[in-house]
Homo-oligomer: A and B are copies of this chain.
Amino acid sequence: MKLHWSPRSPYVRKVLIAAHEMGLGSRLDCVRTTVSPFAPAEDLWDDNPLNKLPTLVLDDGTAIYDNRVICEHLDTLHDGPRLFPQGGRERLIALRNQALGDGLLDVLMMRLIERLRPEERRSPEIVVSNERKTAAALDRLESDVALLTTRPYDIGHVAIGTALGYVDFRFADDGWRDRRPKLAAWHAGFDARPAVCACPVRDDS
């Protein structure tokens, strides 16, 4: 399977971490694709008209996206413990937690895009709004950390751990650990998982 890949995309990293948790890392043939909100990747249009990473091309040529759809599909290709619970409240909370992690990533991405604009084209209201959302999401994760620490590891953990790694990568100045010791402790454990160690955050190539 061909994965359109970039070393800096957190959505790609989420898929890679999930694939490694499932023992499928070696099944992905990663091809470097460079996208930016300011300039689409010309070689991505055929596989994804939204020009987004990640995009996975199956062996029969079917292209699938977005990151959630890819993760759920990969979860059908292995015999280990499932990252997507099959149903009931377990699945509902896993998917809601995934949406929290993915949504935090979306907020961080909007912050990054705002920062990449020339200063005179930034919107102070959007900056403040997204900073508040970041803090609110992290505060909620701190107060509800039992949702992470007392539940079997699932796609929600992957999404939230990936999002926290992206705060470190792009917004280290937030100092998010300062008032959130329980979440910081959980994230240290996440970062030590073999599947996560296999997918380091990189700023190169």
A117 at interface, CB cutoff 8 A: yes
Contact B50 A136 (CB under 8 A): yes
A26-58 interface code vs B (CB 8 A; 1 in, 0 out):
000000000001111000010001111000000
Complex Cα gap A102–B63 (Å): 16
**A: which residues have CB within 8 A of B?**
37-40, 45, 49-52, 62-66, 68-69, 72-73, 76, 87, 92-93, 95-96, 98-100, 102-104, 107, 113, 117, 120-123, 125-126, 129, 132-133, 136-137, 139-140
Main secondary structure of the interface of A (DSSP, over half): helix
Q: Is the CB of A99 within 8 A of B51?
A: no
A65 CA / B50 CA spacing, docked (Å): 23
Chain B residue numbers with a CB within 8 Å of A133 are 40, 49-51
Candidates B52, B64, B87, B125; contact of A92 at CB < 8 Å: B64
- Candidates B49, B64, B69, B132; contact of A136 at CB < 8 Å: B49
Residue of B nearest to A60 (CB): B89
- The docked-state distance in angstroms from the alpha carbon of A114 to that of B87 is 39
Contact A132 B50 (CB under 8 A): no
Q: Tell me the nearest residue of chain B to A117, going by C-beta.
A: B123
Docked Cα-Cα span, A129 to B125, in Å, equals 23
